[in-house]
Structure 1
Amino acid sequence: MVRMTREVVMFKTGHWMVRCWPLGAMLLVTLLPLTRGSSGPAASTAAVAPAGPVHPAERHERVGVAALVLPNIRGNKAQALARIEAYVRRAADQGAKIVVTPETCIDGYICHQPGLTRERMCALAEPEMGPGIGRLRRLARELDLYLCIGFSELAGERLYNTALLIGPDGKTVGKYRKTHGVEPFYEAGDALPVFETRYGKVGMMICFDRQLPEIARTMVAAGAELILVPSNGMWGRMNDALLRTRCYENGVFLVFAHPRDGLVIDPGGRIIAANMSIPGQGVGLPTNTDTEDAGGWPEAVVREIDLVAWRQIQGNMLQHRRQDLYRQRAN
């Protein structure tokens, strides 16, 4: 355990625990083993060009990924950004090169706060080239890593629930705007993009998107080998089941980051790294947690994954698809 500044920040690697829960209406996922292992200066608002294509010589087979378990700080962007930076630095110290934050973590997922007005929401939102994002661009460049940041994006007069992927050069690799289950004040996105990185092709979805199988399948069909999932809603057993199913049915890695939970799941649907939930809080907690650390959780889940080793599995999974059948419509 590592303590930093005034708050406890616990990072663990190489520690395993098992979550067991009853067989039930989990369909496919009940057949899979359920094992959890845990393994500034003023900002510039100048335009940043999108990152260019990755040269084959720059590709890497293995990569450390991290899900940051960042508690919400609602309505205080300065405090939130300071905490995000501290957690990202610590994850980088643990070897992470792809780091994922929870959904809209800069404003603390304030969208459901009673009495919230659109004016207040816009004041807390951040343009893609805004000062808060600028601070995180410099951080990603300094630490030579990819940072997937969930934030409320202000684009003109429109608000989007957005996941922005910043590259090791501080430039935008790409962004995804939440397409399903969009909260108050936000507009829905209209694209399911996939982006090239040093480590392979990456897709992103946000929270409720995980409940629609078409989203992950569309991204994987476009070449995604890793899906990053900032979230701030459901967590626990049902969430585990949904995410594990998305991985298994598509042969894809996934990193899930939530204020109370963090997961890394492999293409076989196995949870290969996770934090621990506090008993008695939240929803969908495990019925059995055999661990001496049941009273707390690490604030980052860091795990090394091998994308190359799973590419053949993904190819085998998708080769059985029959698009001719799927395009048929009932009379």
Structure 2
Amino acid sequence: MKLGMVQMAMSPDMAKNEEKILRFCDEAHDCDLVFFPEVQYSPFFAQYEGRDVGRYLLTPDSPQVTRLQQKAKQHGYYLSPNIYLQQPHGRYDASLFITPKGEIEAISSMVHIFSAPCFYETGYYTPSPDGFHVYDTPFGKVGIVICFDRHIPESVRTCAAMGADLVIIPTANMCSEPLDLFEAEIRTEAMQNQVFIAMCNRVGAEGNEVFAGQSLAVAPDGSVLYKADGKERLVTVELDLTEAARWKAKRPFINLRRPEFYK
């Protein structure tokens, strides 16, 4: 499969963000699956406490989502945007999974909600009501883990146990964070779970922070297939998802688990 990661910068202007998003959707016309960084229609508002950010909320039937569905259908690819989603029982950091027919197959929401300086997420997001999802495609099974979720090892492990060959991670990693450690984390999780992992990050300055880019694609043996720079761009990488099954046979770590002894 040809995977597209849209490593982009966002502004406070939702319409300008959408114009750029749709342009990247067209640029990625020959991809099989395209996804974006975390909360792609807005600035990363969670770096601030107590902001009124309701203007950035979308619903599954918002015009912006409809236009993304049209792009997926037009180009015949899977598309996974990450949005600030309003649902009846809360507001979510959520990734849609849109099929090449332009249909929303399901929605994956962030499971673990974090709170710390620059990441005041508990003030904005509701924890996922239904956990992790894995999606069937002709290329293999695709799981979604959103930003902070990847720091909880059970997140990628759960997707792998559900059969994922590839886990995609929309994220917002800042230059002030330990990026070398984050790369090592992704490589380790890929190796331990015998899955491909692709992480798509934001770029650009917002407030006092600069987002790092450095989007990653990692193979099931933990090797880095692609690491981007810090510039806005469409990143593409070719993945043979059948390799995940071969690595699972070679290193059957998941089959050797003994959860009755885990706390």
TM-score (norm 1): 0.69
- Aligned partner (choices 214, 230, 240) of residue 154 of structure 2: 214
Residue matched to 2:260: 327
Q: Does 1:243 align with 2:186?
A: yes
Cα RMSD of the aligned pairs, angstroms, is 1.9
Alignment of 1:167-186 (within 5 A): 167-182=99-114, 183=121, 184-186=123-125
Residue matched to 1:72: 10
- Letter of the structure 2 residue corresponding to residue 91 of structure 1: A
Between the aligned partners of 1:221 and 1:170, the Cα distance in structure 2 is 28
Alignment of 1:147-186 (within 5 A): 147-156=79-88, 158-182=90-114, 183=121, 184-186=123-125
Q: 1:156 to 1:329 in 2, by over 3 A?
A: closer
Q: Does 1:116 align with 2:116?
A: no
Between the aligned partners of 2:152 and 2:85, the Cα distance in structure 1 is 23
- Letter of the structure 1 residue corresponding to residue 186 of structure 2: L
- Aligned partner (choices 232, 236, 247) of residue 302 of structure 1: 236
Shift of 1:73: 1.7
Residue matched to 1:268: 221
Between the aligned partners of 1:107 and 1:87, the Cα distance in structure 2 is 16
1:100 and 1:255 in contact (8 A); partners too = no
Q: Does 1:258 align with 2:201?
A: yes
Which of 1 and 2 has higher RCO (CA within 8 Å, sep 6+)?
1
SS at match of 1:161: strand
Q: 1:138 to 1:327 in 2, by over 3 A?
A: same
Q: 1:315 to 1:73 in 2, by over 3 A?
A: farther
Between the aligned partners of 2:254 and 2:141, the Cα distance in structure 1 is 21
SS at match of 1:103: coil
Between the aligned partners of 1:130 and 1:257, the Cα distance in structure 2 is 24
- Letter of the structure 2 residue corresponding to residue 306 of structure 1: D
Residue matched to 2:118: none
The gaps in structure 2 that reach 5 residues or longer are 115-120, 203-212
Between the aligned partners of 1:136 and 1:230, the Cα distance in structure 2 is 17
Q: Does 1:133 align with 2:65?
A: yes
The gaps in structure 1 that reach 5 residues or longer are 1-62, 278-296
2:220 and 2:243 in contact (8 A); partners too = no
Q: 1:123 to 1:156 in 2, by over 3 A?
A: farther
Shift of 1:211: 0.9
Residue matched to 1:83: 20
SS at match of 2:41: coil
- Letter of the structure 2 residue corresponding to residue 85 of structure 1: L
Larger radius of gyration: 1
SS at match of 1:169: coil
Shift of 1:329: 5.8
1:254 and 1:266 in contact (8 A); partners too = yes
Q: 1:329 to 1:232 in 2, by over 3 A?
A: closer
Residue matched to 2:210: none
Between the aligned partners of 1:83 and 1:222, the Cα distance in structure 2 is 34
Shift of 1:319: 5.2
Between the aligned partners of 2:259 and 2:17, the Cα distance in structure 1 is 45
TM-score (norm 2): 0.86
Q: Does 1:107 align with 2:50?
A: no
SS at match of 2:21: helix
SS at match of 1:240: helix
Residue matched to 1:146: 78
SS at match of 1:116: coil
Alignment size in residue pairs? 242
1:153 and 1:161 in contact (8 A); partners too = yes
Deviations 1:50-79 (CA, angstroms, capped at 9, x unpaired): xxxxxxxxxxxxx100111111223x2211
1:96 and 1:303 in contact (8 A); partners too = no
SS at match of 2:185: helix
2:85 and 2:93 in contact (8 A); partners too = yes
Between the aligned partners of 2:36 and 2:190, the Cα distance in structure 1 is 19
Between the aligned partners of 1:242 and 1:160, the Cα distance in structure 2 is 25
